[in-house]
Amino acid sequence: MPTTADTPKCLAAVQGRPILDWILGALATNHVDRVCFVGGYQMEKVRAAYPQFTFHHNANWENNNILASLMCAEAEMEEPFLCCYSDTLFTSSVVESLLSSAADISLVVDTEWKARYKHRTHHPPEDAEKVTARNGKITGVHRGIEPEVAHGEFTGMAKFTVAGAALLRKHYHRNQALCSGKPFREATVFEKAYLIHLFQEMIEQGVAMAHVDTPGGYMEIDTQQDFELAQRFWER
């Protein structure tokens, strides 16, 4: 607020272009042009602006969270896919690096994340979705990781092969059956879980996840301050 008072955040204009246009540009440069959009708040405005998308409606968006929102598009997960948050900016080179990963599940990690947080006084490092890694594999993804030991910050971008997507669905439904309406990891109830909560659970169950590193080339727009910083500092 106030930028999102009457529009979804993804339509807010950074340097004259909606956030979604920046995302689409980075994807299109890498020949990714089939887009599935999961929306809730004022999704009809996104539908009107981008009728070429495949849409899935998170009708209960006010009562759930990122994980449940992603799984609204489960019908699209029979083939390899990328996913990303719609309030982030990233360069085409980040997408290129992610596409080149051969792992079944790959997460993009910003290794220069601390530089961004010097300016983000409204979003402290403790809130970052931090990652630890060893020998090319992610060992943890959690907000509680100490900044000093973090390999970087998860950017919200991930790639799944067919096998990786099957693992995602399998672990989602297993935990949904066990925890629906009950606490799950740090979430008060399973329905309010973040994507990283399931990722951490999967890692602890032995699922391998690779990290694709980017030294910058990424910005998150979570607060009005972030929005103003993007106007000043974003460089594609």
Per-residue pLDDT at 150: 97
pTM: 0.94
Class of domain 9-233: alpha beta
Per-residue pLDDT at 57: 97
Q: Give the C-alpha separation, 183 to 116, whole Å.
A: 32
Kindly report each contact of residues 67-70 with a partner whose C-beta sits within 8 Å and lies 24 or more positions away, as own/partner: 67/172, 67/193, 67/194, 67/195, 67/197, 67/198, 68/191, 68/192, 68/193, 69/38, 69/40, 70/38, 70/195
DSSP string, 57-111: E-TTGGG--HHHHHGGGGGGTTS-EEE--TTEEE-HHHHHHHHT--SSEEEEEET
Per-residue pLDDT at 161: 98
pLDDT in tens, the chain (236 residues): 676 778 899 999 999 999 999 999 999 999 998 999 999 999 999 999 999 999 999 999 999 999 999 999 999 999 999 999 999 999 999 999 999 999 999 999 999 999 999 889 888 898 999 999 999 999 999 999 999 999 999 999 999 999 999 999 999 999 999 999 999 999 999 999 999 999 999 999 999 999 999 999 999 999 999 999 999 999 87
Domain boundaries of the chain, sorted by first residue:
9-233
Per-residue pLDDT at 1: 62
Per-residue pLDDT at 235: 85
